[in-house]
């Protein structure tokens, strides 16, 4: 019994020593997330829109998407503050596989309708441009903080 306890403790000490001193192959740069591709946007009436998006979520740090709108294509793709978009954090997603998402854009707090991947609670104005970015989780191990990092921008669509 003591031998098993000793071997278990010895294994954990060696393992912790390896993690603390032996593992030097890590990166301090954030992983790059692939941007989504906007396929279509449909006006469902009452400030409610449906957006079809094709995307691939290649990393376990993938969290969801953030939607931006602007008066021009450039303003939608390059907002002044990347934190000001409306986001959709997906709890369950298929990793590494390209998938087509259906997002519902609705300012109300209604639940998702059938077949909708996620609801984004915001108001869109017809004639404006929209773009999306992928959200990835970024963790700073030095000060134990985390935040979202965003990908480069998707293509844009004009809100009908």
82-110 pLDDT per residue, tens: 888 999 887 655 555 678 889 999 888 77
CA dist., res. 67 & res. 73, Å (int): 13
Looking at the structure of the chain, the number of domains it has is 1
Does some domain include residue 4? no
The pLDDT value given to residue 108: 84
Does some domain include residue 124? yes
Does some domain include residue 90? yes
Does some domain include residue 143? yes
- Mean pLDDT estimate for the chain: 79
The pLDDT value given to residue 56: 79
Does some domain include residue 7? no
Does some domain include residue 16? no
Which residues, 6 or more positions from 50, have their beta carbon under 8 angstroms from its beta carbon? 41, 42, 44, 102, 103, 104, 105, 116
Which residues, 6 or more positions from 112, have their beta carbon under 8 angstroms from its beta carbon? 104, 118, 119
The pLDDT value given to residue 92: 58
Scored b (16 or more CB within 10 A) or e, 93-132 reads: beeeeeeebbbbbbeeeeeeeeeebbbbebebeeebbbbb
Arithmetic mean of pLDDT, 5-11: 56
CA dist., res. 158 & res. 139, Å (int): 35
Task: Provide the token pair at 99.
Answer: 């998938």
Range of the domain at 103: 37-158
Using pLDDT thresholds of 50, 70 and 90, give the confidence band for residue 159: very high
Q: Is 2 helix (H, G, I), strand (E, B) or coil?
A: helix
**What CATH number did the domain enclosing 69 receive?**
2.60.40
pTM of the entire structure?
A: 0.74
Task: Provide the token pair at 159.
Answer: 């809100």
Does some domain include residue 138? yes
Task: Provide the token pair at 116.
Answer: 């909708």
Using pLDDT thresholds of 50, 70 and 90, give the confidence band for residue 139: low
Does some domain include residue 42? yes
Asked whether the predicted pLDDT for residue 1 surpasses 60, the reply is no
Strand order in the sheet with 48-56: 37-45, 48-56, 98-105, 118-120
């Amino acid at each position: 019994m003591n031998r098993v306890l000793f071997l278990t403790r010895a294994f954990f000490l060696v393992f912790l020593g390896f993690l603390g001193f032996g593992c030097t192959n890590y990166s301090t740069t954030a992983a790059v997330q692939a941007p989504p591709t906007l396929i279509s946007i449909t006006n469902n009436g009452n400030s409610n829109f449906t957006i079809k998006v094709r995307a691939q979520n290649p990393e376990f740090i993938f969290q969801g998407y953030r939607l931006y709108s602007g008066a021009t294509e450039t303003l939608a793709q390059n907002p002044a503050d990347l934190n000001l978009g409306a986001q959709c954090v997906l709890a369950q997603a298929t990793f590494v596989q390209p998938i087509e998402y259906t997002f519902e854009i609705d300012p109300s707090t209604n639940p998702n309708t059938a077949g909708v991947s996620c609801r984004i609670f915001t108001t869109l104005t017809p004639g404006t441009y929209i773009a999306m970015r992928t959200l990835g989780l970024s963790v700073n191990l030095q000060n134990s903080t985390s935040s979202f990092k965003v990908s480069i921008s998707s293509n844009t669509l004009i809100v009908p």
